[in-house]
């Protein structure tokens, strides 16, 4: 029912998947930009294996990208080529979109806190619900930005939301941990 706004900085994913599959859908607005805490541009890193972009590992943080691949595909790391490209970045608050966001999903491979910083006015005014990928490396920064929110995690095994508290072993829920029991 609701209009979806999708912001995808990865040109390969944008052209080969999003634009190709959703171009005619009037309820989906596609933008080939990165959301950030400032307007401008940044270098984004793209891993390639056999001349194909592994788009879901693309990141503005090269170290984060390499660590994610080492954990997920340890045998591929030496066979990857990492390309870089300058990407346009915009603050969400500066886009002047006529919308009241109710739900925001952020999965930016370690860049989530910058997206949230660029949404400060929107967060304060509309208080949308957020779905943010948990990364132990950035969790405290996200928690600080969303200080008025109660954090939950989704347990796939139990199919339920669990309040995230200090009692939970944060090392076991991080995507960048081999013992992650949530994935």
Per-residue pLDDT of the chain (183 residues; tens, 9 = 90+): 889 999 999 988 999 899 999 989 999 999 999 999 999 999 999 999 999 989 889 999 999 899 888 888 889 889 999 999 999 999 999 999 989 999 999 999 889 999 999 999 999 999 999 999 887 778 889 999 999 999 888 877 889 888 877 566 666 666 555 554 433
Exposure letters 98-133 (e unless 16+ CB within 10 A, then b) = eeebeebebebbbbbbbbbbbbeebbeeeeeebebe
pTM of the entire structure?
0.85
- CB 142 within 8 Å of CB 112: yes
74: number of CA atoms within 13 Å, CB side? 4
Can you name the residues that pair with 31 across neighbouring β-strands?
7
């Amino acid at each position: 029912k609701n209009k979806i706004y999708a912001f995808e900085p990865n040109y390969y994913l944008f052209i080969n998947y999003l634009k190709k599959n959703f171009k005619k859908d009037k309820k989906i607005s596609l933008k080939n930009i990165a959301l950030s805490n400032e307007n401008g541009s940044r270098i984004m890193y793209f891993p390639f294996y056999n001349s194909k972009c592994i788009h879901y590992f693309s990141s503005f943080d090269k170290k984060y990208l390499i660590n994610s691949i080492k954990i997920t595909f340890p045998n591929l790391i030496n066979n990857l080529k990492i390309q870089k490209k300058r990407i346009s970045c915009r603050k969400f608050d500066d886009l002047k979109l006529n919308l009241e966001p109710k739900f925001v999903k952020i999965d930016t491979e370690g860049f989530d806190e910058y997206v949230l910083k660029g949404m400060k006015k929107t967060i304060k005014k509309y208080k949308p619900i957020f779905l943010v990928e948990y990364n132990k490396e950035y969790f405290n920064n996200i928690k600080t930005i969303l200080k008025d929110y109660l954090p939950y995690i989704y347990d796939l095994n139990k199919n339920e939301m669990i309040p995230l508290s200090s009692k939970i072993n944060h090392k076991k829920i991080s995507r960048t941990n081999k013992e992650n029991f949530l994935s």
